[in-house]
Chains A and B, each alone.
Chain A
Amino acid sequence: MAYTLQLTVKKIEHETDTIKKFTFTSDEIPLPPFGAGAHVTLHLPMGKRQYSLVNNPLEMKNEYVIAVKKISDHNGGSGYLHECIGQGDNISVSPPDNFFPLRTEAKHHVFFAAGIGITPFVSMMAYLKTIGRSFELHYAASGERECAFHRHIQNHFRSKSTFYFMKREEKIAKLKKALQNRTMGTHIYLCGPPAFMDILLEHSHKLRYPEKFIHEEQFQPAVLIENPQPFFVNLVKTKKTFMVSSGQTLLDALHEIDIYVPYTCRMGVCGTCEVEIEEGDVVHCDSFLTEEEKVGNMLTCVSRGIGHIKLRL
């Protein structure tokens, strides 16, 4: 979504020594609704940063709440939010999007979180509790003091939560065990540092856990080419050669020389303008093709060649 919301920082709370909770609101506009697992994109001086929403989507009172762990100085996004943003400040925010939705068909939801990876699950658990569905949480942190939302979770989801504050080896062994002997229809959700995710993913593969029942938090920022470069194109069937200039899309260049490639969205979403690649390197900017399809195909509305490419047209 192209538009942004101008929001005000209503409240800043200390969650732990290094984690702050920010509440954004607006007096003027109703904030768009969101689903459990959704994130917002903040537009900060150093670029766009995405953070999971921690509020309950069913009890949203025109507020977005995020929790941010400080992992940089004020030149980085988290440090900037911690050091330079105060109550009453304004901030540009892209409306919520969701690449980590709950699979509501699940008979049972199991959440594995490490550190600040807890954030999407705070929203998910609140939602599931409201609609009366079954879930449990396994949450690893270095200690109670560093454990974000510890008290909140104890207050609201105590019987469904297990905390892992022990030494690393013991933690890993116990988490692996929690993955085992799950009943059919259980969906697993993972969020945390890459090492944590890798260990649990690998173990789930070892257990032959069906892949479609395992979900990872994945931010998928749209690929945007900052400085598009001109490139040359050879059409092998119609035997034409032409250049796509830096300000032009391949789709437009094709139309200019009367090669009609159908199109619809011009955003790399619908897949209509797909063409086959004969040879050459391509920067893929679409969110449609699978990794396998990208080997021999490209969407001409957003993706570009590097140097010289050949297309089967």
Chain B
Amino acid sequence: MGYYGIFKITGRLDVREVIQVSRLNGFPFPFTKDQYTYSNNSVPLDPAKTITVTADYKNELELKRKLLQKHHHRCFRSLPLSMESQWEIMLLLFNELASCNPESFTFQKKGDECLFQNHLLEEEEAFVFRDVSTIALEPLDLVGRHVQEDLILMGDRHNGLFLEAGQLCFPSNWSLAFVQGMEFKSIHNPVPGIQNDGFIDKVERFISKIRPGTVWERKNWSITVTNMLDTPLETYSVWGKHRQEVTCENAGDLIHLRVEVQRLFRLPMNHDVLFTIHTYLLQLNDLIQQESWFKSFYQNIKTLPEEIAEYKGISTYRTELIRFLENHMEKERRGQ
């Protein structure tokens, strides 16, 4: 079977293939090398955009709002010190939504009077900049309900970067409640090897030197069993057990490559750092349709150091996963 790019050459294109093509199309495939490497893989982004609107906008916002409604204390946290930066983030994101997607969003600001219109959801937010009496939620909590990204505010203090506010609905096995107010290095302590050669210190220094108005992007990957976006530490008992269910037969259906497109932005006005996380999931059955992705994914899973596999939660089913991939490889080889 031949492939050119992601387009499969067959006589006709059925619905299943169209969906697949669009999914593959927008998916931020994270691997650039055929071997797992440990590095500060951030790249500057021009133009400096902090968020992306995708075809899943409505579905994801519905899920996000449901989670916020049911588990607000788990999904939103803030310290009083974060208020000025929260306002700045709200203006920034409303502005960006409107200027990058003018057909879907409108934003007007006359003096401090602001009006944001979300045409996709048929909603509007009218408020006065920096006047808390004009909004029902904190600014970060409000603007977060109009973007697909999780939003984290890192306060840049004289003694380090601290997590001072966050709206986090789709975490990969971490807890906002646990890390609220924590310093950057402490938050990353669970990552194996992160202290080696002062690596985490250098990443922190890199972030603290990001210039106002610039955006840096990195992709972070892991694997989710099932297609759940919301996998917080708090509900581990619900989703974690699926890791035991993976076999070399069902891996293609169950396993999803989870990619977080993470962006760092220095807020020009308050000098704090906005960290946005856009989470994408791609079913393994879809991923293996794209030959170069399949190869790269296989090599990375194969060469992943044991402690990283453990940290990413892959150890339980790594053997089954590799067998599934090798079976697929064998099938492709025979087919040619």
Contacts and interface: CB of A to CB of B under 8 A. Distances in A.
Interface string A18-55: 00000000000000111100100000000000000000
A230 interface: no
A183 interface: no
Contacts of B270: 35, 104
Interface stretch (A69-77, A91-99, A164-172, A235-243): A91-99
Contacts of B268: 32-35, 38, 96, 98
Nearest to B197: A274
B44 A265 contact: yes
A209 interface: no
B271 A98 contact: yes
B70 to A, nearest CB: 33
Interface size class of A (residues with CB under 8 A): 20 to 34
A213 B159 CA distance: 9
Contacts of A57: 269
Contacts of A101: 156, 271
A219 B76 CA distance: 38
A187 interface: yes
A34 B269 CA distance: 5
B209 A287 contact: yes
B202 interface: yes
A310 B49 CA distance: 41
A27 to B, nearest CB: 17
B81 interface: yes
Contact of A272 (B40, B214, B267): B40
Interface in B66-115: 81, 84, 88
Interface in B137-187: 155-159
B237 interface: no
B235 interface: no
Contact of A288 (B155, B206, B211): B206
B204 to A, nearest CB: 11
Nearest to B198: A293
Contact of A212 (B37, B81, B130, B159): B159
Interface string A78-117: 0000000000000000011110011111000000000000
Nearest to A274: B202
A262 B209 contact: no
B269 A270 contact: no
Contact of B202 (A97, A102, A104, A271): A271
Nearest to B82: A104
A300 to B, nearest CB: 15
A104 B212 contact: no
A129 to B, nearest CB: 13
Contact of B158 (A33, A95, A187, A272): A187
B202 A98 contact: no
Contacts of B192: none
Contacts of A269: 206, 209
Contacts of B205: 271, 288
Given A105-B155, A105-B158, A262 B39 contact: yes
A153 interface: no
B39 to A, nearest CB: 6
B120 interface: no
B39 A272 contact: yes
B132 interface: no
A244 interface: no
Nearest to A271: B202
Contacts of A287: 209
Contacts of A97: 211-212
Interface string B31-47: 00000010111111000
B206 A271 contact: yes
Contacts of B209: 269, 287-288
A222 to B, nearest CB: 10
A180 to B, nearest CB: 21
Given A104-B270, A105-B81, A270 B206 contact: yes
A311 interface: no
Interface string A229-262: 0000000000000000000000000000000001
Interface string A151-173: 00000000000000000000000
Interface in A177-212: 187, 212
B206 A32 contact: no
A6 interface: no
A95 B41 contact: no
A201 B283 CA distance: 60
A272 B44 CA distance: 14
Contact of A98 (B84, B155, B212): B212
B213 interface: yes
A41 to B, nearest CB: 12
Given A33-B268, A187-B158, A265 B212 contact: no
Nearest to B158: A212
A70 B197 CA distance: 49
A98 B156 CA distance: 13
Nearest to B203: A271
Interface in B27-66: 37, 39-44
A-B interface, 3 closest residue pairs, ranked by CB to CB distance from nearest: A101-B271, A212-B158, A35-B269
Given A1-B214, A57-B269, 17 more contacts: A33-B268, A34-B269, A35-B270, A58-B269, A96-B212, A96-B268, A98-B212, A98-B268, A103-B158, A104-B271, A264-B40, A264-B41, A264-B42, A265-B43, A271-B40, A271-B202, A271-B205
5 contacts: A33-B88, A58-B269, A105-B158, A272-B39, A288-B206
Interface of A: 1, 32-35, 38, 57-58, 95-98, 101-105, 131, 187, 212-213, 262, 264-265, 267, 269-272, 287-288
